[in-house]
Amino acid sequence: MSEPHTSTELATEKLREAILSGELLPGDRLHQDRLAEMLGISRTPLRAALTTLAQTGLVSYESNRGFYVREFSIADVSGAFQVRAELEAMACRLAAANMTDTARKLLNDLVAEGDRLLEPGALLPENLGAYRRMNVNFHTAVMDLAGNPWIRTFVQSLHNVPAASDRVIMWRDFRVIERSHDDHHRIARALAKGQGERAAAIMREHITFALEHLDLQLKLYPQDFLRMPSPDKPAKGRKASRSKRSSE
Amino acid sequence: MSEPHTSTELATEKLREAILSGELLPGDRLHQDRLAEMLGISRTPLRAALTTLAQTGLVSYESNRGFYVREFSIADVSGAFQVRAELEAMACRLAAANMTDTARKLLNDLVAEGDRLLEPGALLPENLGAYRRMNVNFHTAVMDLAGNPWIRTFVQSLHNVPAASDRVIMWRDFRVIERSHDDHHRIARALAKGQGERAAAIMREHITFALEHLDLQLKLYPQDFLRMPSPDKPAKGRKASRSKRSSE
DNA sequence: AATCGGATAAATGTGTTCATTTCTTTTGCA
DNA sequence: TGCAAAAGAAATGAACACATTTATCCGATT
């Protein structure tokens, strides 16, 4: 183990994963003793984990009334993209003033890595993880170059918004991926030349388009992205009904 | 009691206040036993409070090594203003599209309240709290009108950065206050007319100037704003060292 | 019959205790 | 004398148990 994970951190990660993957549905009550038993830990570290997630925004909490999986509205999701676009555009403006040779090389390497992964003319399933990692690293690198720690902090926390996270965005159309990666090319070039405003403009459009595309995908394949607590269509698994649940 | 404050929430508030007011110094170790005894509670709710503050960013935490009062760098503080400027400018652009008559009235009332408080030609001590409240309400109102919940969330969390919070900014110069309040006038008017870009520009300058002014004040009266952990001057108040801690 | 009220049950909040990790001190050895 | 390793002390992490609050159910009253 590289990091001495404590029970609390372990539980936090498991719960975050369960929520972001949709295993736990928005609005679900998070019973402490049941969850504790499920995870094989006591209530003490579980409560710590839930407290953390509550501050993160993934779960909501009311005194003496327990924790719930937070429900995100459409406004939350699109708002997340809006703010991300603004913050990362800002990062570009700032980063352009801090470009060094090593910075240029870093961005170039990341872009080249993307080129390599897209070389086959399609995003192969075995390359999906690597591509996502490259994508995250590219955006993170730009934000780090900006020298403003808050940008990365906030963008990071926006990735906890279910449908707004890079992890759940499925690009079904290869042309979209290519176009998106071409944005990376342009951003890297613009930054290398110190053209901050231009890089910012591309970045803003880069992210705004991601929202537009998500919007479209949402209409086409809603069940794959958002599992809203729809009253008539309970998706799958357990439902957040107030009556007694037969199982579990 | 209007709200059934629990021990945890109470402790959270007390600790937040203690940190923001400078009672607890950056870098201070937060011993659980002692703090619990000081606050008259057990370690369990205290840990919950510390966990919350850790996620908020006011304290740092390492597994098995405890909590510390987070140390903010100059980059953190100026970065907080930068991001605030960007986010609140964004709020103006968005709010301009959502202006209604009630919105116009709300902003006008807040501005009028400010006029009333500044009427004497000086910011009287007894009006200081009311003015700050008005200021916070004005900015909050604009962000709410933007319709993007994340803007307010993030700006709110930036107010937890010690010197970047409105609460610790002391305006020593009345002309600065007048000028600042005049910005509010202009922003309200611009928004009322739907001039989003103009309002955004004023807001950006409004906040950027606050940073510039803080910078100046910092040089003039450093001890009033930032209490950096100076190795030779233990500041004041309660001990940061347990028995004999020679160095560090 | 409906609603208000109280009693019971369930879940959360907190105090306490024990286990584990980390830090300090001391002791042994080169 | 200096360093290193081990033993002791102290602090954190987790489990357990108790107290308090909230929810549910049943019955009485209007």
Pairwise CB contact (< 8 Å): B150 & A57: no
Residue B232 lies in a domain: no
Q: Look at residue A247 and tell me if it is in a domain.
A: no
Chain A residues lying within 8 Å of B153, measured CB to CB: 57
Q: Same domain, yes or no, for B102 and B195? A: yes
Check whether residue A41 and residue A107 sit in a common domain: no
For residue B197, being part of any structural domain is answered with: yes
Overall number of domains in chain A: 2
Name the domain boundary from A52, A69, A86.
Answer: A69
| Residue of chain A whose Cα is closest to the Cα of B89 | A86
> Coil, strand, or helix at residue A26?
coil
Residue A234 resides in a domain: no
pLDDT attached to residue A167: 65
CATH number where A38 lies: 1.10.10.10
Token duo for residue A139: 């955006």
Asked if A94 and A55 sit in the same domain, the reply is: no
pLDDT at residue A118, as a whole number:
95
Do A62 and A82 reside in the same domain of the chain?
no
Bases of chain C below 7 A from a protein C-beta are: 11-17, 21-23, 25
> In Å, what is the separation between the CA of A61 and the C1' of C1?
38
- Chain B residues within 8 A of A79 when measuring between CB atoms: 147-151
Strand D at less than 7 A from CB of A7: yes
Residue ranges of chain A whose pLDDT lies below 50 = 1-2, 228-248
Point out the domain boundary residue: A69, A89, A111: A69
- Interface probe, candidates B90, B150, B159, B203, chain A, greatest A C-beta count within 10 A: B150
- pLDDT value at residue B4: 61
Do B83 and B194 share a domain, yes or no? yes
Which parts of chain B have pLDDT scores under 50? 1-2, 228-248
B242 φ, ψ (degrees, to nearest 5): -75, -70
Pair A24, A63 in one domain: yes
Nucleotide nearest to A34 (CA to C1'): C11
B18 in a domain, yes or no?
A: yes
Residues 6+ apart with CB under 8 A from A202: A92, A183, A186, A187, A190
Q: What is the pLDDT of residues B97-151, one digit of tens each?
A: 999 999 999 999 999 999 999 999 999 989 999 999 999 999 999 999 999 999 9
Q: How far apart are CA A183 and CA A203, in angstroms?
A: 7
Residue A230, domain member (yes or no)? no
Task: With respect to residue B167, please indicate whether it lies within any of the assigned structural domains.
Answer: yes
Task: Look at residue A244 in the predicted model and tell me its pLDDT.
Answer: 32
CA of B241 to C1' of D8 (A): 22
Distance from CA of A90 to the nearest CA of B (A): 8
Inform me whether the C-beta atom of residue B223 falls under 8 Å from chain A C-beta atoms: no
Q: Do A80 and B150 touch (CB under 8 A)?
A: yes
B208 contacts on A by Cβ (under 8 Å): none
- Closest nt to residue B244, judged CA to C1': C24
B140: domain CATH number?
1.20.120.530
With H, G, I as helix, E, B as strand and everything else as coil, classify residue A62: strand
Kindly state the tokens that stand for A232: 């008539």
Boundary of a domain, candidates B18, B41, B69: B69
Residues B127 and B27 in one domain: no
Nucleotides of D under 7 A from a protein CB: 11-17, 21-24
Query: Are residues B38 and B78 located together in one domain of the fold?
Result: no
Q: Give, rounded to a whole angstrom, the gap between the first and last alpha carbons of chain B.
A: 44
Domain shared by A82 and A175, yes or no: yes
Structure tokens at A228: 């809203």
Phi, psi of B151 (to 5 degrees): -55, -50
CA end-to-end span of chain A: 32
Residue A90 CB burial class (10 angstroms; 0-12, 13-18, ≥19): buried
Question: A35: burial class by Cβ within 10 Å (0-12, 13-18, 19+)?
Answer: buried
CA distance B158 to chain A (A): 9
What residues contact B186, with CB distance under 8 A and at least 6 apart? B199, B202
Range of the domain at B55: 7-69
Residue B49: inside a domain, yes or no? yes
Same domain, B78 and B111: yes
Q: How far is B10 from B1, CA to CA, in rounded Å?
A: 13
pLDDT of residue A230: 34
Looking at residue A137, what is its pLDDT? Answer: 97
Instruction: Judge if A160 and A189 occupy the same domain.
Output: yes
pLDDT score of A233: 29
Residues A63 and A147 in one domain: no
Given A52, A83, A90, which is nearest B150 (Cβ)? A83
Q: Which residue is nearest to nucleotide D15 (CA to C1')?
A: A42
**Which pLDDT value is given to residue A169?**
58
